[in-house]
Amino acid sequence: MSEQNDLIKRRLEELEEIKKLGINPYPHRFDVKNNSAEIIKNFRDPETDEEKEKLKELSVSVAGRIMAIRKMGKATFCHIKDDTGRIQIYIRKDDVGEEAYSVFKLLDIGDIIGVNGYAFRTKTGEVSVHAVSYQLLTKSIQPLPVVKEEITESGEKIIYDAFADVELRYRQRYIDLIVNENVKDTFIKRTKIIQSIKRTLEKNNFFEVETPTLQSIYGGANAKPFITHHNALDIDLYLRISNELYLKRLIVGGFNRVYEFVRDFRNEGIDRTHNPEFTQVEWYQAYGDYFDSMNLFEEVAEQACIDIHGTTKIMYGETELDFKRPWRRIRMTDAILAKTGLDILNMKKQEIIEYMNSNEIKFDPKISHSKGLLIAALFEETCEEELVQPAFVYDFPIDTTPLCKQLREYSMDQLEEMKKDPEQVIFAERFEPYVYKWEMGNSYTELNDPVLQRKLLEEQVERGRGGEEETHPLDEDFINAIEVGMPPTTGVGLGVDRLVMLLTNSQSIRDVIFFPLMRPV
CATH number at residue 64: 2.40.50.140
DSSP single-letter state for residue 210: -
Give how far the C-alpha of residue 228 lies from the chain's centroid of Cα atoms, to the nearest Å. 25
Co-location of 132 and 211 in the same domain: no
Q: CB–CB of 330/432 below 8 Å?
A: no
Specify if 228 maps to a domain: yes
Same domain, 103 and 198: no
Same-domain check for residues 204 and 93: no
**Cα–Cα distance for residue pair 361/374, rounded to 1 Å:** 11
Phi, psi of 58, deg, nearest 5: -85, 85
Name beta bridge partners: 489: 286
Asked if 67 and 190 sit in the same domain, the reply is: no
Contact 349, 330 (CB under 8 A): no
Residue 421 near residue 358, CB atoms below 8 Å = no
**Which ranges constitute the DSSP H helices of 46-96?**
49-55, 93-96
Asked if the model's pLDDT at residue 467 lies above 70, the reply is: no
Does 415 share its domain with 483?
A: yes
Cα 306 to Cα 109: distance, rounded to the nearest angstrom:
38
**Helix, strand, coil % over all residues of the chain, rounded to 5:** 40, 25, 35
Considering the entire predicted model, what is its pTM?
0.91
pLDDT bracket for residue 157 (50, 70, 90): low
Most distant pair of Cα atoms in the chain: their distance: 96
Mean pLDDT of 388-393: 98
Specify whether 49 is located in the same domain as 117: yes
Phi and psi for 500 in degrees, rounded to 5?
-65, -40
Whether 220 is covered by a domain: the verdict is yes
Give tens-digit pLDDT for 212-266.
999 999 988 888 999 999 999 999 999 999 999 999 999 999 999 999 999 999 9
Q: Which residues contact 364 (CB under 8 A, 6 or more apart)?
A: 377
3-class DSSP state of 289: coil
Please tell me whether residues 135 and 191 are part of one structural domain.
no
Q: Looking at 144, 165, 199, which one is the last position of a domain? A: 144
Range of the domain at 191: 184-327+389-511
Please, which pLDDT band fits residue 129 given cuts at 50, 70 and 90?
very high
SS3 per-residue string spanning 89-129: EEEEHHHHCHHHHHHHCCCCCCCEEEEEEEEEECCCCCEEE
Residue 126 to residue 78: CA distance in whole angstroms? 12
Same domain, 135 and 207: no
Alpha-carbon distance 128 to 39, whole Å?
8
The reply to whether 291 falls in a domain is yes
- Closest residue by Cα to residue 87 from 55, 39, 46, 125: 39
CA distance 139 to 116: 19
Count the helices and strands in the chain (H runs, E runs). 17, 21
Looking at residue 413, which CATH number applies to its domain? 3.30.930.10
Helix, strand, or coil (residue 338): helix
Between 409 and 156, residue with greater pLDDT = 409
Say what the alpha-carbon torsion angle 336, 340, 342, 345 is, to the nearest 10 degrees: -20
Each residue of 54-93: pLDDT tens digit? Answer: 877 889 999 999 999 998 888 999 999 999 999 999 999 9
DSSP state of 181: H
Select from 84, 116, 144 the last residue of a domain: 144
Please determine, for residue 161, whether its predicted confidence score (pLDDT) is greater than 70. Answer: no
Does residue 379 form part of some domain? no
Q: Is residue 176 part of a domain?
A: no
| 256 Cβ neighbours under 8 A, 6+ residues apart | 285, 286, 287, 487
Provide the pLDDT confidence category of residue 383 given band limits of 50, 70 and 90.
Answer: very high
101 pLDDT more than 70: yes
CA pair distance 35, 294, nearest whole angstrom: 43
Please tell me whether residues 422 and 492 are part of one structural domain: yes
Confidence of residue 211 (pLDDT cuts 50, 70, 90): very high
Q: In this structure, are 197 and 318 located in the same domain?
A: yes
Number of domains in the chain: 2
Q: Is residue 341 part of a domain?
A: no
Q: How confident is the model at residue 150 (pLDDT cuts 50, 70, 90)?
A: low
Output the pLDDT for position 127: 96
Could you count the other beta carbons within 10 Å of the beta carbon of residue 465?
A: 9
Same domain, 220 and 308: yes
Residue 9 inside a domain? The answer is yes
Residue 409 carries which DSSP code? T
Q: How confident is the model at residue 5 (pLDDT cuts 50, 70, 90)?
A: confident
Q: Would residue 156 count as lying in a domain?
A: no
Residues contacting 11, CB < 8 A, separation 6+? 108, 139, 140, 141, 143
Q: Is 500 found in the same domain as 394?
A: yes
Q: Which of 82, 79, 286 is nearest to 178 (CA)?
A: 82
